[in-house]
Structures are given as C-alpha cells and as structure tokens.
Structure 1
Amino acid sequence: MSGFPSVAVVGGGASGTLAAVHLLREARARAMPLEVALIDQYGRHALGQAYSTTDPHHLLNACANKMSGLEDDPGHFLSWARDDGLDVSASDYLPRRTYGRYLQDLLAGAEEWPVRVVRRVTGTVSALTRGRGVRVHLSGGGRVDAEAAVLALGNRSQSARPPVVDAASPGYVADPWAPGALAGIRDGAPVLVLGTGLTMVDVAVTVTRAHPGTVVHAVSRHALLPRPHPRPVPPPVPTPVPDGPLGVGDLLRAVRLAVRDNGGDWYGVVDGLRPQVQSLWTRLSPDDQRRFLGLVARHWEVHRHRIPPVTAARIADLRAAGRLRVLRGRLLRAVSGPSGLRVQVGADGAVRELDVGWLVDATGPGADITRDPLLADLVADGVVRPDRLRLGLDAAPGGAVLDAGGAPDDRIFTLGPMLRGSLYETTAIPEIRAQAAALAPRLVETLASGARLPSPARSRHV
C-alpha cells in the first residue's frame, strides 16, 4: 500500500478505466494523493472484453468524434488519434484495438507518480468484506484493502453451459471474448453461433477470415441483425414524448409518428431519442419495463447499436456467398457428432440437424446478475441489492449502491452495465464516461473529508 487514500476498482475494462481516470483527475484538481487499485481477471487492464481484441477488422460501432473518454473534452479521442499519427476524420470508425491503446494511454496519463498512482492487480475477485473500508478478496488468497470500492464489472457472461449442450461435447466456446477463445477456429469446419447481434458479427468476421471455407450458421429467436450506420449520418431528430405516465404503447406511437414526420427515415429519430432513453426508462412501470424487454428490446437494439458501413458490407458479402446463414429459431440439442457436434435447431417451424465443428455462445450478458457468484454473495449478505429486473445493481443517483434496506453506501459505487436495469442505456462510452465524471467528485470528497481508515474489520466473506 502507498500509505494514502485508495480506491479498489473491480473490473479493468472501459468502465473501470474511466472510473479510475476520473477519480485521479478529481484528486489532482484537489491536490490530493490517491491510489487506485485496478483489478482485472485476465490482466487486460484498460482493455477489458471489448477492446482486447487483436483482430484489426473488429471496429468501433461509433465514429471517432463520439468516443472521447473524458466528459469535459469531447474531442479528446480524435485529437489523440491524430497525435498518434493516424489520418482520421471525425466520422471514421477505428479498430477497437486502437481504442484499447487509447484507454491505456488515458489511464497512464492520469497518473502523477508518486502521489496519484494506479496499481494494476491481476486476479479474480471472490469476495468483498465491508467494514469501515472495503477488503477485496482474490481467489488464491490475495487481497486488496481500500477505503472504497467501485464495482465496474461490465457485462457478465452467461455462467453455465446451456443444458441442451452435452457436457462432453467438444468445440463449445462459452465466451468468445476469453483470451484465445477463437484461436482454434481455423480448420474450416462449420460454426454455429448462438445469437445474431454484435458479438455474432465479430465472430463471423474473424472465423471466416481465418479460413476461406468456413461457413457460419447464426441462430436467434428473432434472427435480427444489427443495422448499418448510414453515410453521412443524419442529424438527430427530436422526438416528442407525452408527459405524465408512460407505457410501452405510448412510446411506440411517439416513435412511429416521429419516423413518419421524418419522411420514413428512422436513423435521426433513434439518435434523437438516445439522450432521453434513461429518463424515459424510469418513467415506465416495472411491468412496462418487462414488456419492453420481452417485446421491443431486440428491435430497439438492432437499430440503436449499429455497425460500421464496412462491417455491414462484409456481412452482406458473406450472406450472398452462403458463408453466413441466419436462422430464426433456437438450439434444441447439441451432442458429439462425426464432425465434432451434431446440433438440432428448431427453425421456422421445423427441426434441422447440422453437423458443425464449433458452437459459439454469443447470446450476450446473463439475464440475472445473482447467477454471478460474487454478486450473489453480495446480495445474500445484504451489502447490495439487485434492481427490480435483476439485470444489475440498484444504485442511487451518482452510483452509490443500495443495500438490502435501500440505504446508499458511501464506500461502494458502481457504473456502466451494472446499471442497465435502472437506466437501460448505460453500456456505451458516452454514458459510462458521464457516470464516471459524476461518481468521482462524490467519492473523492468522501475520502478527503475523513482521516486514514484502518483496514476493514474481519467479518463473514460475502
């Protein structure tokens, strides 16, 4: 330990990195020493799941002028890229690995050794102990003691193999973003991908380039693919939404009217809605929120989370060549077969059998955070509580987690995808950087107003 106030940030991806950066900048503004312990399971500090890819064809899904990591400097990423020697315009879509380098530089630039530092810790967090401060326990016996903690856990992957997949089946990839997960898919064997969203797009781009004969089958309930960004991107269009109580039907009618009044062009309407999404979400009743998730969410996501034109062109070429085949349905069964896996897919009212070499789960984050062992134990101990949809953590404005009784914790905060159930639109860089900027002053003020605290009291691990 450095001997001065410290914050443990659990999660080393974009959410954790932007939290650390804004904390260090706030400490600098107050001329206050601070240590941030940034804890990442795989040692991918500042990269996380999204930006650790080494495939140069995995591009950002937003153009360069929207990807600043600093809330008070919206052009920062674009300036960094040009200073780095890249010939880039505001509307370009850069490789995600380039953005990973940016986050690493941003983190390093926020340090001012020896008074404001980042301690990069590699390990899996197994428990938290909450005393007067926070003790973070790592698998294998290590620990990090700090005055406060930020849970920047990102999207939690599915915790278990689907029950319809035989445990002995080879070629099953549970997490395509785990280090080296796609490295073996180079043999030209067919690939079945569960899901047809952004992750499927990345998987298809990678494995079809790795071998010219690879065919990808992608299956999902709706068989909807992300829409492409237009060129040029039209300006956002204001969408009037009625005041007062709001239901899903009211929201859909408002959007349809706005698209009609915009000559049928939905791009500007969707982008105009984005700044309102969090407030609109909180106006929906719990039942309407569940109705939205079940009936509307997938349609919103494919229009809201779009892909760059060059990626869209690649996907179109693969489909035209028969190398990407999209199925509407669900996986019924997967067992060992002559080519690796024999799968049954219920598609368009019929059962199809496919022999594939690989089965990749790209269905996205788990639907219930309490299936995550760390979060389940925190909930069981009453340190945190899930939001009412159990998609993330319940938190006060500014990110302080709420305990089982609904009281905000002044030492444990969260941001990013952990707030999805409360805010819905909370997974993109603009939302995360805004949350990091709001969280930092409150947390630093808490640290500045108190003396150095002793190590957390020993209590039951959670």
Structure 2
Amino acid sequence: MLGRVSGSPTVAVVGGGASGTLAAVHLLREARARAMPLEVVLIDQYGRHALGQAYSTTDPHHLLNACANKMSGLEDDPGHLLRWALDDGLDVSDSDYLPRRTYGRYLRDLLAGAEEWPARVVRRVTGTVSALTRERGVRVHLSGGGRIDAEAAVLALGNRSQSARPPIVDAESPGYVADPWVPDALAGIRDGAPVFVLGTGLTMVDVAVTVTRAHPETVVHAVSRHALLPRPHIRPVPPPVPTTIPDGPLGVGDLLRAVRLAVRDNGGDWRGVVDGLRPQAQRLWTRLTPEEQRRFLGLAARYWEVHRHRIPPVTAARIADLRATGRLHVLRGRMVRAVSGPRGLRVQVGADGAVRELDVGWLVNATGPGADITRDPLLAGLVADGLVRPDRLRLGLDADPGGAVLDASGDPDDRIFTLGPMRRGSLYETTAIPEIRAQAAALAPRLVAAVVSAPRRAASTG
C-alpha cells in the first residue's frame, strides 16, 4: 500500500506524459498562488515521467512538429520554452524545430521547477493503474496491490494503443513490433532487412527516419488506405488566414466548401487557411451533429490531419530523399495478413483488386491511436463500474466543458477529471500542446476547489 506520504491534500494524476505533466505543473502553480500545500502523485506505467510516449524518444532526428515559439508549456508565458532553451545554451530561434527528446527534458525541468519543497511536491510513481474507486475521495488501485488515496484524480492517459491489430499468424514473432513507442521497441531493427510499416502517418515517419539511419541498406514499405503522408511545414511560415464559416446548421459539406473557397481566395495557399481554422476547430466540431461528426471521421479526417499536423522541413526532406532513392515505398491498400516467410515474415498487401507479397524482416504497427477507448482495460473497468462513460463516438471520455468526467447517468464527477486526447470525441482537436496546456490551466482552479471542498482524512504512511 502506498497511501500518502504527507499530511498535505493529494491529487493523483494517472498518466505521466505531456497531458499529466502540464496538468500537474498548472495545478502546482495555482496552489502556490494560493499559498496552499499540495502533493501531486504522477503515475506513469513505464517510469517516463514528463516524457510519455512522444518525448521519450532517444533519436535526435525525431523533431517537434511545431516550432519553438508555439510549444511553451505555460499558458500564460508563450516565450517560456525559448528562454529555457537559450538559458540551456542551445542555439535556437523561435522558428526552429527542437528535437523531441530536448522537449522532454524541458517538460521535466518545468515539472521540477513547479515544486516548492516541502509545501508543494510531486511524487513520481511507476506502475499500472488497474482501477479507481470513489471512497470519500478517490482511491487509485495499482496492479500488484498498491493504492493511492487522493482528494481528486486526473485521467491524463494520452493516446491509447494502436487502433488496428494486423492479421498476423504469429503475433509472437520476434520481427513483429506491436507498439513502436514501447521503450527500445525499434532497437533491434539494425540488420538491414526490409521493414513493413502499417500506417503512413506521423508514427511511420518517425519509424522510417530511425530504421533507415540504423542501417544503410534498410528499405521501408508503408501501407495505408489512402497512402497519405503528413505535409511539410515551409519557411517562412505564412500567417494564419481568418476563414468565415457560415452560421446556422453545419455539415461536413458546408465545411469543405468554405475551406476550398478560402484556399482559392488565398491564392491556393492552404497552410494559412488551415492554421486560421485551428482556433475555431473545437467550436466547429461541436456544431456538427453526431452523424456529421461520424461522416467527417470517415471522409475528411485523414485529409485534415495530414494538412493540420505537418512535419518540419528537414524531416520532409529526409522522407523525400528516402522515396527518391527507393528506400521508402508508400503503398495504397491494406494488409491482408502476415505469415512466416524466408526473411522472417511474408506480408500480403491488397491493392487495386490484386494481392502482392513482400518478404520482410520486420513488421511495425504504426496505425495511430486506438479507435475505441473501451478496449483499454482500465477504461473498460471504469465504464463497467459506471464511474465514466465514453463520448458518443467512443474516441475518449465524456466530460463537461470544464473536464469533469460524466458518469453513466451523465452527471459530472466532482473528483475525477480528464484532459488532452481523452477529450477527442467532444473536442476533436485536443492532442497538441497548445490545446493541452490551455485545458491544464483551466482545470487547475477547478482541481483546487475540489481539494478544498473535500473532507479531510488522516494521512497514511503505509
């Protein structure tokens, strides 16, 4: 049993990545402003506190997908990251794209700087949360029997596991990488054998960059339904272009027409239009009916994502070079199945009514975040217990506008909250740092209010 280690009120943050870290940082800053003692327990499955999935990479060629002047972790201080980088001796400008591992170090420093021992502390716990129960406050249960008692909890679970499980005959094959973000998952891909990647999005780009640098003969085959690659950023960055979306009932067709007209009126430059739409994205999403939201996901989401979530110019140049030299092949189609083959695995790919076979040494699942949160054991248990419910698209958790999760009856919980990718179904654009830090800042005073109103319990030292 972990219990408590101090008499201070406690908030448990489940998930130690960017969402959980920014929630903890803004909460600690709010507590300091109120001269209030507080303990934040930050729980991460792999012990990657403040790094999470995105920023735990050790590859220096994995870069942020936004420039430094847009990636501050503090909502009220947009220049904070750039000042930190300059103080750290980095030669960086506001339009540079930092390595993601550097940004992970920034988040760790940000978290450490928010502590003010002994009044406001962060306890970093490595473990898997198996359940939450409501016992006066919130009790967080860990696999193996430990527990943490808190006045409130934040579900900051980030993106869930891959949305598709490929039909592979031997899922235990040493050449199959089910999750490329598990620590050292790509470390073994250094033998020069061909690599098959399921997916052509941002994760595929990272995989291709890593494995082709690890061996000069590695060739990557990537497949997806649309064979769309993330578009590149350009320099100089064009200014955002305000786009007017008509009032009244809104459908996907209306949205697409408005965007096409805006691009035309902007001389064909779509980047400024997309960036101008970003501040409206959450509001526009909520204007769509559930049917139109599903239509958007089926027809337009992939096109929006490759234009909205772009890659740095240097990364785009690397991908273009790999394609030009025959080391990256992007295939439009679907994977039929994978079986044992002479080089490790034989992958069957269906495209244009035909099936082709590729003999590869490695198969990497890079299909992106899971499509149904109830496949996650923790979330499935919370749904079964009635503590939370999925949003209507089952992409995340249903929550009120302030981030309090809704229970099975649709009532907001005054002790359990969420932010970041867990709100994708209700907000859609909620996975990037600017959106997450805004949610963290708005959530902080609400968490403090929950802690203040909670019945005090005796500290446990067990």
Q: How high is the TM-score relative to the length of structure 2?
A: 0.97
Structure 1, unaligned runs of 5 or more: 457-462
Q: State the match for 2:443 in structure 1.
A: 439
Counterparts of 1:6 and 1:28, CA distance in 2: 14
Q: State the match for 1:341 in structure 2.
A: 345
User: Conserved in 1, the CA contact under 8 Å of 2:7 and 2:459?
Assistant: no
Deviations 1:357-415 (A, max 9, x none): 00000001110000001000100111000000000000011110000111100100000
> Shift of residue 25 of structure 1?
0.3
1:430 counterpart = 2:420: no
> Shift of residue 162 of structure 1?
2.8
Q: SS in structure 2 opposite 1:331? A: strand
User: Conserved in 1, the CA contact under 8 Å of 2:160 and 2:376?
Assistant: yes
Q: SS in structure 2 opposite 1:235? A: coil
Match of 2:26 among 11, 19, 22: 22
> Shift of residue 168 of structure 1?
4.5
User: Conserved in 2, the CA contact under 8 Å of 1:159 and 1:372?
Assistant: no
Match of 2:288 among 267, 284, 288: 284
Counterparts of 2:392 and 2:107, CA distance in 1: 33
Q: State the match for 1:66 in structure 2.
A: 70
1:76 counterpart = 2:89: no
Counterparts of 1:168 and 1:374, CA distance in 2: 24
Deviations 1:161-188 (A, max 9, x none): 4334433533110100000100000000
Q: State the match for 2:132 in structure 1.
A: 128
Q: State the match for 2:313 in structure 1.
A: 309
User: Conserved in 1, the CA contact under 8 Å of 2:55 and 2:101?
Assistant: yes
Counterparts of 2:245 and 2:237, CA distance in 1: 23
Measured on the aligned residues, the alpha-carbon RMSD in Å equals 1.2
1:147 counterpart = 2:121: no
1:397 counterpart = 2:401: yes
1:157 counterpart = 2:161: yes
Q: State the match for 1:372 in structure 2.
A: 376
Q: SS in structure 1 opposite 2:232? A: coil
Counterparts of 2:162 and 2:193, CA distance in 1: 25
User: Conserved in 2, the CA contact under 8 Å of 1:216 and 1:325?
Assistant: yes
Query: What percentage of aligned pairs have identical amino acids?
Result: 89
1:260 counterpart = 2:270: no
Partner amino acid, structure 2, of 1:113:
W
Q: How many aligned residue pairs are there?
A: 456
Partner amino acid, structure 1, of 2:51:
L
Superposed, 1:230-241 pairs within 5 Å as 230-241=234-245
1:412 counterpart = 2:416: yes
Superposed, 1:174-253 pairs within 5 Å as 174-253=178-257
Change (3 A) 1:427 1:336: same
Q: State the match for 1:460 in structure 2.
A: none
Q: SS in structure 2 opposite 1:335? A: strand
Moved over 4 A (4+): none
Counterparts of 1:159 and 1:263, CA distance in 2: 37
Q: How high is the TM-score relative to the length of structure 1?
A: 0.97
Q: SS in structure 2 opposite 1:163? A: coil
User: Conserved in 1, the CA contact under 8 Å of 2:194 and 2:221?
Assistant: yes
> Shift of residue 244 of structure 1?
1.1
Counterparts of 1:168 and 1:34, CA distance in 2: 45
User: Conserved in 2, the CA contact under 8 Å of 1:159 and 1:371?
Assistant: no
> Shift of residue 5 of structure 1?
0.4
Match of 1:115 among 111, 115, 119: 119
Deviations 1:93-145 (A, max 9, x none): 01000000000000000000001000000001111111211111111111111
User: Conserved in 1, the CA contact under 8 Å of 2:242 and 2:276?
Assistant: yes
